[in-house]
Amino acid sequence: MSTTHHHVAGEPSANGAPRVTVAALREIGLFGALGEEALDSLTTTLSVIPVQAGEAVFREGDAARELYVLLQGEVEVLKRSRRGTEVRVAILGVGDWFGEMSLLDVQRRSATVRSVAPTELLVFSAKDLDALYRRDLKSYTLLVLNIARGLSRRLRVADGLLADFITTVQDEYVRGRAGSKNPA
């Protein structure tokens, strides 16, 4: 069975894009603990977009008001260094979501996200989040908590990587200093 058929229903949404199914939403951690009614409502409002391999979903510095959930495919997250070099900082796959930082803090995109394979994305906009808040405060709260948990997991990983990096740099510095001393 094709992943596309599993995630997308046959009928298009109001904007003509394919719709995601309740069953697909249930499998995504972002929507964990949301009730049947809330999930059913989301299937009528959220749209699904295709992204070709090599295509940027968005670029670092872009204005932003939506997050994306990977229904199919794979994307890479690229961050620009101070020297202007783009560095891959993550690879995301089916069920992962990205873009939530800009949805919450209303800042520009902090990284570039590019598809590395043909990809299908579920789009969840600030407008969708506001509508959920007005319609179903409990589901809104659960969704925001799920976003916070995802951000917390990523921060823990980033902290671990930073600690490892600092330790490596310190070790190399100490080794370099010890090796450069002239014997008397």
> Model confidence over 128-159: pLDDT tens digits?
999 999 999 999 999 999 999 999 999 999 89
Q: Is residue 184 in some structural domain?
A: no
Nearest to 131 by CA among 45, 58, 6: 45
Q: What percentage of the chain has pLDDT greater than the value 90?
A: 75
Q: Is residue 83 in some structural domain?
A: yes
Distance CA(19)–CA(71), nearest Å, equals 11
CATH number, residue 91: 2.60.120.10
Distance CA(139)–CA(130), nearest Å, equals 12
Residue-wise pLDDT for 35-64, tens only, equals 999 999 999 999 999 999 999 999 999 999
Distance CA(135)–CA(38), nearest Å, equals 9
Q: Is residue 34 in some structural domain?
A: yes
Residue-wise pLDDT for 8-32, tens only, equals 444 555 556 678 999 999 999 999 9
pLDDT for 17: 64
Q: Is residue 122 in some structural domain?
A: yes
- Beta strands 119-125 and 86-92 are unpaired
- Concatenating the DSSP letter of every residue in 22-72 gives HHHHHTSGGGTT--HHHHHHHHHH-EEEEE-TT-EEE-TT----EEEEEEE
pLDDT at 182 over 70: no
Q: Is residue 25 in some structural domain?
A: yes
pTM of the model: 0.82
Q: Is residue 105 in some structural domain?
A: yes
Residue-wise pLDDT for 80-108, tens only, equals 999 999 999 999 999 999 999 988 898 99
Q: Residue 145 sits in which domain range? A: 3-179
Q: What is the mean pLDDT of residues 162-171?
A: 90
Distance CA(69)–CA(20), nearest Å, equals 11
Q: Please count the structural domains in the chain.
A: 1
pLDDT for 6: 41
pLDDT for 172: 87
